[in-house]
């Protein structure tokens, strides 16, 4: 079952409060909203995972990394070869016992260590700076012709989640920059790899691994069918324009 916005806000609040334990600064609205937005963007509050990732409670698509000793899962899909065959690929991601554990770890990854600048930007409600700091510290690569384009696209995607969190928290909304539909430089289809694929996966409410495999193709076809588009499983200009302009929720997460 997908986590609701109200529940997500409570989980984010608890996670940030743990980081601030003993501090004179309480959990801020900005920190809660940014954490909420990252979890929504990366994994749709964990429901974007399919296969082995389902039920992992991994909110931010956080990979294992060298120092991780906890539970894990291997996310597996396939990509095509030139001879018509397919090859499997896999990546290791963190798994957690509960939703709160997943939110707590995401808060640590997002706000501590080299990313203390992300927390500072979130506390003061400087949303472009949140995306800028996340990019500078390697949380995401983004897509676009320049670094500024990549940061701007991330900020646009984050703004949707920020507004949803602020609505629950009873705070005012922020402006969502309009999508730049000209940033799609190729048709995305089975076998494509890259940050533009990650962007499409996030819009499709999938965990973003950047490889257009069978899961992404099936999700694309479902999206196209839901929106009256040609359901060929390929993301061209028309599908991209619709995809980046709405708040799609899959019928079955």
Q: Is residue 86 part of a domain?
A: yes
* 48 burial level (CB within 10 Å; 0-12, 13-18, 19+): buried
Backbone angles phi, psi at 175, to 5 degrees: -75, 140
Helix and strand totals (H; E) in the chain:
9, 2
Q: Burial letters for 80-93: b for 16+ Cβ neighbours within 10 Å, e otherwise?
A: beeeeeeeeeebeb
Q: Is residue 249 part of a domain?
A: no
pLDDT in tens, 144-197: 778 888 888 889 889 889 999 999 999 888 876 665 545 677 899 999 988 889
Q: Is residue 53 part of a domain?
A: yes
Rounded CA separation 84/123 (Å): 51
Q: What average pLDDT does range 196-214 have in this prediction?
A: 86
107-113, long-range: CB < 8 A, 24+ apart: 107/12, 107/15, 107/16, 107/18, 107/19, 107/35, 108/19, 109/60, 109/62, 110/34, 110/35, 110/38, 110/60, 110/134, 110/139, 111/16, 111/19, 111/31, 111/35, 112/19
Q: Which domain holds residue 33?
A: 5-178
What does pTM read for this prediction? Answer: 0.73
Going by their DSSP bridges, the two strands 72-80 and 86-94 should be labelled as: antiparallel
Domain count, the chain: 1
Q: Is residue 87 part of a domain?
A: yes
pLDDT in tens, 105-128: 999 999 999 999 999 999 999 999
pLDDT in tens, 218-252: 999 999 988 888 999 999 988 988 887 766 656 43
Nearest to 85 by CA among 190, 10, 177: 190
Q: Is residue 189 part of a domain?
A: no
pLDDT in tens, 63-100: 898 889 999 999 876 666 666 666 777 789 999 999 99
Q: Is residue 41 part of a domain?
A: yes
Q: Is residue 241 part of a domain?
A: no
Please report the pLDDT score of residue 152 as a whole number.
Answer: 86
Mean pLDDT computed over every residue of the chain? 86
Q: Is residue 68 part of a domain?
A: yes
């Amino acid at each position: 079952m997908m986590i609701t916005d109200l529940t997500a806000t409570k989980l984010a609040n608890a996670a940030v409060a743990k980081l601030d334990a003993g501090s004179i600064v309480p959990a801020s609205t900005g920190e809660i909203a940014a954490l909420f937005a990252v979890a929504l963007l990366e994994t749709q509050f964990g429901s974007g995972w399919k296969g082995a990732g389902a039920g992992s409670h991994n909110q931010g698509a956080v990979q294992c990394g060298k120092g991780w000793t906890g539970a894990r899962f291997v996310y597996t899909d396939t990509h095509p070869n030139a001879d018509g065959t397919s090859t499997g690929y896999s990546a290791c991601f963190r798994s957690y016992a509960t939703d709160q554990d997943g939110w707590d770890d995401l808060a640590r990854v997002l706000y501590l260590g080299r990313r203390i600048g992300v927390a500072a930007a979130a506390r003061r409600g400087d949303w472009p700076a949140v995306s800028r700091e996340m990019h500078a510290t390697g949380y995401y690569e983004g897509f676009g012709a320049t670094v500024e384009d990549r940061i701007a696209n991330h900020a646009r995607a984050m703004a949707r989640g920020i507004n949803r969190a602020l609505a629950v928290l009873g705070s005012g909304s922020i402006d969502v920059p309009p999508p730049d539909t000209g940033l799609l430089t190729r048709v995305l289809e089975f076998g494509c790899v890259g940050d533009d694929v990650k962007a499409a996966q996030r819009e499709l409410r999938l965990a973003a691994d950047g490889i257009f495999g069978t899961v992404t193709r099936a999700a694309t076809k479902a999206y196209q069918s839901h929106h009256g588009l040609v359901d060929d499983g390929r993301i061209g200009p028309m599908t991209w324009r619709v995809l980046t302009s709405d708040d799609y929720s899959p019928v079955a997460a």
